[in-house]
Amino acid sequence: MTTAIAALGTDRRGSSFVQAIVLTAALALGSVAGVRALTGRVGGKMDCTGDAIASLTPGAGPCSEGGSGPGALPAAVAIQPVAFETAPRTPQPSPAPLPAPAISSTPIPTASPTPSPQPGPSAEPPPPPPPSRFTPEDEGKVKELIADALARHDGDLALAFVDLRDQRQKPENFFDSNLAIASDYLRARLEVRRNGPRVAREEVEAYILLKKTVGVPKEGPGPVSPFSELQAKFMRQGVEDEASQLSFLGKVFFSTPAGDLFGTSRFLIDSVRGDE
């Protein structure tokens, strides 16, 4: 084929175009034949190599018969199985144990129980229980109570009487005989100032008579004190002390019938209203 192609190349008798076509066709046919031969050899070698790998058999086998010449492939290399060796492991030292936390010898403070509040001492001691019977009478104590009440209220007779009367209505003073006599003294003086000496004397004598006999009505929360000569004495003394202190016009007015009528009417009105 090579000689024919060379002859066609040197033949100048025909058309140059026809020669070029023939030359190209000849080259194409030669190339196809070479490629086919090479493909067959490569496929055979690949099959032999695959079988050797699958069986892991040493030696070339049929794949070692390769021809020499153009297109011949080298003999397949036998694949040796690789032995995987496990390298011995060097034992690693175990980690040192962590030191135990140091426990302080200082004791942990614990909360002490809060003591329950105890009632503190009161500012004033509790009052003593009231007596079950009236206290003994003391004339000096009576005069002291009267003087102190008048001094606390700058000589105001009405306020001093209210002061002692309110003290008598406290439970701890229910049976205080001296406080009862001092209060009655100031009340007798007030009756003179309001109703005149004559009407006040009649009131005191009627009060003493009732206390000696059937008793007088209760006027406060405490019990009525029993009759006492010292009480009668101070009530009569209160009428005379206030009568001597009346102004000149007051003495003249209450000595007339009009003054007596005024005093009697006022006494009756106060009795109905319940004024002390």
pLDDT in tens, 160-201: 999 999 999 999 999 999 999 999 999 999 999 999 999 999
pLDDT in tens, 60-84: 445 544 444 444 444 444 445 444 4
At 265 the pLDDT is 86
Angstrom distances, CA of residue 227 to CA of 125, 239, 247: 33, 18, 33
Q: Give the mean pLDDT of 37-52.
A: 61
Find the angle CA(252)-CA(256)-CA(259) to the nearest 5 degrees: 90
At 69 the pLDDT is 46
At residue 8, does pLDDT exceed 90?
A: no
Question: Where in the chain are the domains?
Answer: 2-64, 139-273
DSSP sequence for 111-143: PPPPPPPPPPPPSSPPPPPPPSSPPPP-HHHHH
At 78 the pLDDT is 47
